[in-house]
Structure 1
Amino acid sequence: MINPLGRSPEAMEALFQLIRVELRRVFHQAAGAATASRLAPWQFRRVRERIEAGAPMPGVAELATLCGISPRHLHRQFIALTGKTISAYIETYRIEQAKLLLAAAEVPMKQVAEQAGFSHGNSFARAFRRATGLSPREYRQRSAALTNEASAM
C-alpha cells in the first residue's frame, strides 16, 4: 500500500483509533445532554398536580422546591420539555379551565374568572381574548349555540 503522506501505517491506525474514540465520546455526551435537559416525569407530574390544585397559583420558586431544583434550572428544563415558560403554561391551563366553566353552565363571568385563578375580570377577559380570539361572552354564546345545534339533531 502506498502512503502519500509518508506516515507509518501504525501512526495512521493510531490516529484513526483516536478519532473513533473521540467521536464516541462526543455522541455519548450529546445523547446524555438531550435527556438531561428535560424534567423527569415525576417532576413534571408534581408541577402539574400543584397547578391543578388551584388558587393561589404557584410561583416558580414553589414549583422548583417541589422538584428539588433551582428556579432557574426548572425554568430551563420546563421550556425544554413543553416549549413554554411556566407562566405561559399556567395561563393556558387557566384559560382551558375557564372554557370548561363557560361552556358548562351559566356561572357569572366574575365567578368564572375567580375559579380560573384570575384576580380581576379585566385581566381574565384580556387573557382569554389573547388566547382564543374571542371575549368570554362570545365564547359562551358560541358554546351554547353549538350545544343547542347538537341537541336539536
Structure 2
Amino acid sequence: MIRRTVGFLLFEGVNSQDVAGPLEAFHSVSSVATSPYDFAFIGESREPVCSESGLPLVATHTLQDIPPLDMLVVPGGAGARSAHNLQVLCPWLQHVAPVTKRVVSVCTGAFLLAHAGLLKGLTVTTHWQYADQLAQEFPDLQVQAQRLFVDHGHIATSAGITAGIDLTLALIEQELGADTAAAVARHLVVHFRRAGDQAQFSAPLAFQQRADQRFASLTGYVLENLGRSLGVADLADYCGMSERSFYRQFTRSMGQTPARYVAELRLDYARQLLVSRQWSLDRIAQACGYDSPDVFRRAFMRSFSVSPAEYRHRFAGQDITRGHNVPAVN
C-alpha cells in the first residue's frame, strides 16, 4: 500500500479541535482497515505552542525539515489571523503548496490560505461567524458562508470545527472508498456524507438565533405541525397577534415572509428525512405538509436544483441504503 503523509500545521493560538478532528478521522482508518496514513506535526520550532484553549501542542517537524507531504491541513483559531503567524507562515505556504497534492483548511485556517494567495478567485467557506470578514478582506473570493466544505481538488476549505471532519471523511472516501469512509464515520459516531452543500447549522437553529421574544417559540410550534397548512392565520393565532400585525412584525424581525419561513423549515425537514429514512417520496411529502408529491418535487427542485430522489442518491449514507440506522451526530 502506498503511504500518504498528512501534515498538520501548528502555531500559537491554533484551535486544537481543528487539528484533532481531522487527525482522529484519518487515524480512525486504522481501526477499520489497513491505513495508509502517516502524520507530521509542523511548527515554527519544536517548542510547544499553546492552543486557544490552553492545550499545549508539540511539533515533530519544523518549517525547514518537513517530509514530503501528500496533504497539508491548515487549522484555524485566533492565531490564524495574527500578524506574526501571517508573516512567518504565508511565505512557507506559498513554497509548500505547489509541491503538496492537497492543501486543506479548517475553519478560519482559510485566512492563512487567503493571505498566502492560495485562494485567489476560488469559491471558499469558513466558519459562518467570520465569513463576512473573509469576504471583505478578500473581495476576489466567493465566500459561501452556509457551506460545510468546498473541495477544488488541490485546495479545499471547510467551515467551523466539526466541518473539518466532514471534509476529512469526503477525502477518505475519495482515496479509500465509500465502505472505509462509512466505517470511519460509524467509529466516530458521526454522519457519513453530511453533504458539503448542507448548511453549517440547520434552518431551525438559524431562525431561533434571529427570533426575538415575540417569535421565540414559533419555530418549535411549526416543527411540531409541519403536516398542517400553517398559513399566516395559524401563525398569527399562535403568537396572539392579528394577521396584519403578525405579518408586518415577523417580516421586519426575521427578514423574510412567513410563507418563506415555513417553506424553508419544510424543506430542511425533507432533507433530513431523505437521508435518514427509507420512506417513499409520497410519505415524505405528506410528513412535510405538501399537498402532493409533485408539489414537493417542484419546491425541492427550485431550492436545491436537484430532485429529492437525486438528493437522496447523492447524500444518503451507506448505512441508510442497507437499511440500518444512521449514526448520531455529536
Could you state the TM-score of these two structures normalised by the residue count of structure 2?
0.31
Could you say which residue in structure 2 is the equivalent of 1:95? 267
Could you say which residue in structure 2 is the equivalent of 1:51? 222
Aligned positions of 1:2-151 closer than 5 A: 40-41=212-213, 43-54=214-225, 55-144=227-316, 147-148=317-318
CA distance in 2, matches of 1:39, 1:138: 33
Query: Does the residue aligned with 1:117 lie in a helix, a strand or coil?
Result: coil
Query: Does the residue aligned with 2:286 lie in a helix, a strand or coil?
Result: helix
CA distance in 1, matches of 2:240, 2:253: 17
CA distance in 2, matches of 1:99, 1:87: 18
Highest CA radius of gyration, 1 or 2? 1
Structure 1 residue 48 displacement after superposition: 1.5
Could you say which residue in structure 2 is the equivalent of 1:28? none
Structure ranking higher in strand proportion: 2
Decide whether aligned partners of structure 1 residues 105 and 62 sit closer, same or farther in structure 2, where only a CA change above 3 A counts. closer
How many residues end up aligned between the 2 structures?
Answer: 109
CA distance in 1, matches of 2:262, 2:242: 19
Q: Is the 8 A contact 1:64 1:71 kept in 2?
A: yes
Structure 1 residue 137 displacement after superposition: 0.6
Structure with the larger RCO, 1 or 2 (CA within 8 Å, 6+ apart): 1
Decide whether aligned partners of structure 1 residues 139 and 39 sit closer, same or farther in structure 2, where only a CA change above 3 A counts. closer
Query: Does the residue aligned with 1:106 lie in a helix, a strand or coil?
Result: coil
Identity of aligned residues (%): 32
Could you state the TM-score of these two structures normalised by the residue count of structure 1?
0.65
Gap regions ≥5 residues in structure 1: 1-37, 149-153
CA distance in 2, matches of 1:39, 1:109: 31
CA distance in 1, matches of 2:275, 2:219: 23
Q: Which amino acid aligns with 2:234?
A: E
Runs of 4 or more, structure 1, over 4 Å off, are none
Structure 1 residue 62 displacement after superposition: 2.4
> Which shows bigger deviation, 61-70 or 118-127?
61-70
Structure 1 residue 40 displacement after superposition: 4.3
Structure 1 residue 39 displacement after superposition: 7.0
Query: Does the residue aligned with 1:56 lie in a helix, a strand or coil?
Result: coil
CA distance in 2, matches of 1:101, 1:60: 25
Structure ranking higher in helix proportion: 1
Query: Does the residue aligned with 2:216 lie in a helix, a strand or coil?
Result: helix
